[in-house]
Amino acid sequence: MKCRKKIPVHADGKTDAKFERAFLCACPSPEPAKIPAVAKPGEAGDVAEMDLSLCSINPQDFPVERYMPLGILGQSAKADTLLCRDKQSGRRVAVKCFKNVPVHMLPTFEQEARKISQLSHTNIAKVVDKGVLNGKIPYLVTEYKDGFSLDQYFAMEGVPSHDVAVKILVGLLEALVYSKKDSLLHRSLKPGNVIFLDDMNSEPSIVVTDYGISAVKKEWKDAEAGDAHYMSGDEARNMDYDERSEMYSVGCVGYSLLTARTPFDSDSALSLKNKHALELPVRISNINFDRDRPGDLDEVIERCLEKNPKDRFDSLEKLMERLQVFPRRVQLRVAAAEAARQKQKMIKLAAIAVVIFILIAIVSMVLSKH
């Protein structure tokens, strides 16, 4: 049986770290050691340090003095993200080192990174450290949460139920609304940056990772195809990025939650950019018709994907309020069903009481005659 647990990919040349599915364990081989949440290097239960040269990372370009690399969380032309052990605290962290950031942008990076590190919300992965290595390589360190990215969830489970999808979207919007108060937008929303927490004993909850730094993003003019699947249509048309642009990307994530597909598909980032700029996606109900899913939920997600920002919701708060209607509607249905059951129960009890009363009356009449 395959456990399908998420594992960090060690760069041994056997696994392609570009694909999220490669992070899912296919038992009985391999059988990776469990990485404890807190452990000092060398303690029992800790895993061996990963050789950075095996994944084409120069050790001089990584903060190895404090962070011991354990596995790969993600690699791209823009950045390397590794699962590490913080040698000071013993905790697992995610260390992201950015590539090709011009030196003149480093002060702006540090300013924005400082702002992101001040975010403190249950649904946002906390930035615990930041810096610039060797005066040229900026990096961010965030807390590491056990769980699965939504990409991995799709690979394991397919489309979630619509009520779980709504809870995930509301959790995502709670994070975005909070950060918006500090004039911070995520700018890089996609399922890979939304972690579905691995907690079977609680309601579905998520953590948002990898808040984008606008100064860095502006330097990356050419999006990769993986990112372009969820890019805002406003970005595709070179419009100013605001909360309604963010809303479009939320709509892309919502579309994937209901269909397990992206709104548009292509191997070319340029082609995807053009589709986001000019086309409307196939209607959700045409891809995944679900009789139990409220039709107006599809309409909410599709409204987020309108090409004209004015045709979307007025704000992220308005979108969140609209989505919160669906759980309340379910609660009302459950309450109404429970009330109906109680009513039927009372009717049955009353009927039984009447029958008993009649029987007692009949018995009393018979006894009185004798």
Best CATH choice for the domain 34-144 from the list 1.25.40.10, 3.30.200.20, 3.30.930.10, 3.40.50.300: 3.30.200.20
pLDDT at 86: 95
pLDDT at 295: 85
CA gap 214, 216 in Å, rounded: 5
For the chain, 370 residues long, give each residue's pLDDT as a single digit of tens: 344 445 554 444 444 333 334 445 555 554 444 444 545 555 545 567 888 877 778 888 899 999 999 988 888 878 889 999 999 999 999 999 988 888 888 888 898 899 999 999 999 999 999 999 988 899 999 999 888 889 888 888 888 889 999 999 999 999 999 999 988 999 889 998 999 886 655 677 899 998 877 656 666 555 565 678 999 999 889 899 999 999 999 999 999 999 989 999 998 889 999 999 999 999 999 998 888 888 899 999 999 999 999 999 999 999 999 999 997 655 556 556 666 777 787 888 888 888 888 888 787 887 777 6
CA gap 83, 129 in Å, rounded: 14
Running DSSP on this structure, what letter comes out for residue 362? H
What is the DSSP annotation of 243-263?
HHHHHHHHHHHHHHHHHSS-S
Q: Which two tokens stand for residue 64?
A: 């190895």
Helix, strand, coil percentages, rounded to 5, for the chain: 45, 15, 40
Gyration radius of the chain's alpha carbons: 26
pLDDT at 148: 85
Q: Which two tokens stand for residue 202?
A: 């609680």
Do residues 60 and 134 make contact, with C-beta atoms less than 8 angstroms apart? yes
Do residues 121 and 208 make contact, with C-beta atoms less than 8 angstroms apart? no
Running DSSP on this structure, what letter comes out for residue 18? T
CA gap 78, 222 in Å, rounded: 10
Three-state secondary structure along 114-131?
HHHHCCCCCCECCEEEEE
Kindly list the domain boundaries of the chain, sorted by start residue: 34-144, 150-339
Burial of 88 (0-12, 13-18, 19+ CB in 10 A): exposed
Give the list of residues 6+ apart from residue 249 with CB closer than 8 angstroms, or none: 186, 189, 190, 230, 231, 232
Q: Which of 161, 154, 169 is nearest to 21 (CA)?
A: 154
pLDDT at 108: 87
Helix (H, G, I), strand (E, B) or coil at 267: coil
HSE (CB half, 13 Å, CA atoms) of 52?
Answer: 17
Phi, psi values for residue 290, rounded to 5°: -130, 115
Do residues 212 and 187 make contact, with C-beta atoms less than 8 angstroms apart? yes
What's the first-to-final CA gap in the chain, in angstroms?
76
Instruction: Please state which CATH number belongs to domain 150-339.
Output: 1.10.510.10
CA gap 83, 44 in Å, rounded: 19
Helix (H, G, I), strand (E, B) or coil at 37: coil
